[in-house]
Structure 1
Amino acid sequence: MTTSLRDCAAPAKLNLFLHITGRRPDGYHALQTVFQLIDWGDVLHFARRDDGAIRRVNEIANVPEDTDLTVRAARLLQAHTGTAFGADIEIDKRLPMGGGIGGGSSDAATTLLALNRLWDTRVSRKDLQRIALKLGADVPFFIFGENAFAGGVGEELDTVELPARHFLVIVPNAHVPTVEIFSDPELTRDSEAVTITDFLAQHGSTIGWPDSFGRNDMQAVVAKKYAEVAKVLDWLDIIAASRMTGSGACVFAAFPSKEAALEAQAKVPPSWRSVVTASLQRHPLYSFAS
């Protein structure tokens, strides 16, 4: 049996639109979105332990080991399966925190997928998604592993075919706490529900894609609170139709080719971190569950 797995990808996601359609009695927000996987992410390494211990072997700034979603994910899978194995987890953190691109959620999902393979626990994808929901609303999407139209709190997922694109993603000099934005009284929570058919009928052929369908309901709130995010949105909108992803702070625009995205990136002020990345159709570890 394999005793280690190295270079396990934890890709980021973009929200091509994000509508808040209500608030549930349990306090969670009902939403609709389309999740797009992208070829930019953290990289995780796992070594099986025979003593049952689960450890993160490197430091992550401002993330204590016991609260790290990867450690929590490993412990949940361990408890669910009753395995005697443990793991050493090393995280090569490349994605910004507080960026709205799902970094921590993706790390947790990659942990569940990788340990499912490393421990030979053979938990189904559906069951892994149920475990993942205990860690956060975005985590089941990364287990689902395909671009998706999402409802509920983000866990109701349907595969959606998206065109191959390249994206310019800009990271403003701001850390946006998700809880702060969801709790803001100015956040609208009454967007009209749409269907996957509505989205597919409009998004792919319009020149302004992804700004051709819907909006991000959180964007106005974040831009008002964080001037740096507003600044990036205003700047990028001159180059191409731009949108904030998730609860912020990252801002993106889509391009039909890598060359076009790189041309736009060359104009980005040096004070902002930016990356050009390609769309993905499937999670790199998709085959680790069935």
Structure 2
Amino acid sequence: MRRVADPTVMFPEAEGWSAWPAPAKLNLFLQITGRRPDGYHTLQTVFRLLDWGDTVYLRMRGDGGIRRLGESAEGVVEADDLMVKAAKSLKKESNIAQGVDIGVKKRIPSGGGFGGGSSDAATVLVALNRLWGLDWPTDSIARLGLSLGADVPVFVHGQNAWAEGVGDVITPIDLPPAWYVLAFPGVHAPTAGLFQAEDLTRDSAPATIANFLSGSLSGNAFEPVLRKRENAVDSVLNALSAIGTPRLTGSGSGCFVEFATRDEAMDALQRLPAQLDARVAEGAARSPLLDALERRS
């Protein structure tokens, strides 16, 4: 992953910046159950939040302006940045005069299916709701977030969740402690193209939370499609099979293997090829963004 400037230099607290976590996520399973008349696919999945991700930096502006400073996701211009869109949407809907400068330290790779862009946008919405003194209820913020992307609401709610619909019908779920080896093939999965793939399974029988908790659900509908189209993804999944049962996350190219303890995950990481871009991350009981909000109460 590319190096970035030290955020303590770029966004110092002494100059009015505040730091807010934007955690990554995993889809512990994902299946598509149908297609709506408007073309959107209905799915079922379980979102697992991680205690690792990006950091979003915010600084209030009195002139009403909204601007992005510093780095961004690769190739994303300011006008298309979900963080900027999130701030503009919240400002418009709340009719508030204040503005904000936005910065980010990117750790979550783009196109990996780890939810980086959606999580960054959710963090902007949640943090600005506090910093601008709006006091909107979480459900209202989540509804606004849904207009930015189907994954945004789960990050707004900040809980591990069973999700249905287009990913927006969320039921909180308790998950056991776990650690994960994450691997990044280095390719940007074309989500729109994958959804249109002829060999994508779109008619899986609807499952229940009980099915998932029993261990009978763990696959990802996009995995066989993406393995055929991206040799790098197939190679990484094959490499991970030496340490456990590899899975794809979301509709991205990122892969992971689950372990019960940190020691097991670290030992597995050491057994992977040195050239593989991989790391260990802990599953979170809830979003670290909620902890940050509580510390500022």
* Aligned counterpart, 2:63: 51
In the TM superposition, 1:95-110 aligns within 5 A as 95-110=108-123
* Aligned counterpart, 1:282: 286
* Aligned counterpart, 1:14: 26
Instruction: Could you tell me which runs of 5 or more consecutive residues in structure 2 were left unpaired when the two chains were aligned.
Output: 1-14
* Aligned counterpart, 2:217: 213
Q: 2:209 aligns with which of 196, 203, 214?
A: 196
User: How far does the alpha carbon of each residue in 1:196-253 deviate from its partner, in whole angstroms, 9 at most, with x for none?
Assistant: 12222x13xxxxxxxx524100000000000111111112112101100011211101
TM-score normalised according to structure 2 size? 0.91
Distance 1:239 1:39 in 2: 22
Q: Identity over the aligned pairs, expressed in percent? A: 45
Is the contact made by 1:5 and 1:114 (CA closer than 8 Å) also made in structure 2?
no
Distance 2:227 2:289 in 1: 35
Distance 1:59 1:157 in 2: 32
Aligned-partner residue type, residue 171 of structure 1:
F
* Aligned counterpart, 1:160: 173
* Aligned counterpart, 2:229: 225
Q: Which moved more, 1:121-130 or 1:174-183?
A: 174-183
Distance change >3 Å, CA 5–CA 281, structure 1 → 2 = farther
* Aligned counterpart, 1:125: 138
Aligned-partner residue type, residue 255 of structure 2:
V
Aligned-partner residue type, residue 267 of structure 1:
R
Q: 2:257 aligns with which of 253, 257, 263?
A: 253
Q: Is 2:40 the partner of 1:28?
A: yes
Displacement of 1:28:
1.0
TM-score normalised according to structure 1 size? 0.93
Q: Is 2:243 the partner of 1:243?
A: no
Work out the number of aligned pairs and report it. 278
Distance 1:272 1:192 in 2: 36
Displacement of 1:4:
4.5
* Aligned counterpart, 1:77: 90
Distance change >3 Å, CA 125–CA 112, structure 1 → 2 = same
* Aligned counterpart, 1:208: none
Secondary structure of the residue that 1:84 maps to in structure 2? coil
* Aligned counterpart, 1:209: none
Distance 1:66 1:280 in 2: 32
Displacement of 1:114:
0.8
Displacement of 1:270:
2.4
Distance 2:276 2:163 in 1: 30
Instruction: Could you tell me which runs of 5 or more consecutive residues in structure 1 were left unpaired when the two chains were aligned.
Output: 204-211
Displacement of 1:267:
1.8
